[in-house]
Amino acid sequence: MTSLHGPYARNGRYVGYFPPVAYPYAPPVPAHPWDAAAAYRQAVRRREQPLTFVLVHGSWADAGFWNGVAAELRRQGHTVYAPEYPGHGADFANTAATHAMMSQAIADDIETLDLRNVVLVGHSFGGTIVQKAAELVPERLKRIVFIDAFVLKDGGSLSDELPPEAVALFTQLMEASGNNAIMLPFPFFRDAFVNLASLETARQLYAGIKPEPAGPLFEKLDLKKFYSLTTPKSYVYLTVDNVLPQGLGYGWHPHMSSRLGQFRLIKGYGDHMTQFKTEPKKIADLLYMAGRD
């Protein structure tokens, strides 16, 4: 099993940091001697099928969004990469970044690292990045996983999937920014993105977000090739996610997930962002169930 750590650059530009990975994996020491057998069986189950994950974050986030989840997956014996893409992370000031630039960056990372049998995971807006990146490197993918992520229709945009009042808010924020970016107001972020978090946790998470390049949210995407792919797909649905209204022609599941045709459905209790930070093991376990054979 290979791994990568340290700063990683593409074309001379810093794009992410991969923490060091310790091998071989050792299961945690049980609290009591009689738990040893159960702990060993659990560790073996987790290592039954080591996977290679590429984790793609969504809007108002960067690659650090995955730190806790990635660390847990690595602890369980998997290989994990969380690459950055234009307009985010160290490149957050690049508000002219396009959707094509973002998806190409993810595909380039997969090819540069010569990854094979990849479980490609997209969260939120990252689902649209995954759709286009999958078109570019389909032969390198084992499975495509969406976790409360947009699955756009051919010719559609992310903004097409939002309620009119949300589109109006984002348009107003974009026009007021002066640089084609959208920064979420805290009350909207608190109620929609981290509705299960304590106020303290919500404020901590909000302190880490940056303005989002607006253009890709309104771009229409040609997805004919994506819908011709035979790559297996999974959808992880966090059932208390309030970013999209549940029902009324919106929502993650079944509204988005049903567009995948045949897919594996995994459900968990969580909102849009909180559990990625507060319960990374839970998210890691859901992703493993979604990605394994």
Would you say residue 155 lies in a domain? yes
Domain that includes residue 247, residue range = 50-291
pLDDT of the residue at 23: 38
Would you say residue 277 lies in a domain? yes
Q: Measured between alpha carbons, how far is residue 204 from residues 89, 125, 182, 193, 281 in Å? A: 17, 21, 19, 13, 20
pLDDT of the residue at 35: 54
pLDDT of the residue at 47: 55
Read off the CATH number of the domain in which 281 is found. 3.40.50.1820
pLDDT of the residue at 2: 40
State the pTM of this model. Answer: 0.85
Q: Which residues of the chain have pLDDT under 70?
A: 1-47
Q: What is the spatial distance between Cα 36 and Cα 16, in angstroms, rounded to a whole number?
A: 38
Number of domains in the chain: 1
Q: What is the spatial distance between Cα 260 and Cα 1, in angstroms, rounded to a whole number?
A: 31
Would you say residue 147 lies in a domain? yes
pLDDT of the residue at 248: 78
Would you say residue 198 lies in a domain? yes
Q: Are 85 and 102 in contact (CB under 8 A)?
A: yes
Would you say residue 4 lies in a domain? no
Would you say residue 1 lies in a domain? no
In tens, the pLDDT along 257-284 reads 999 999 999 999 999 999 999 999 999 9
pLDDT of the residue at 27: 46
Q: Are 174 and 215 in contact (CB under 8 A)?
A: no
Q: What is the spatial distance between Cα 280 and Cα 293, in angstroms, rounded to a whole number?
A: 22
Tokens for 60, please give them.
């108002």
Would you say residue 6 lies in a domain? no
Would you say residue 32 lies in a domain? no
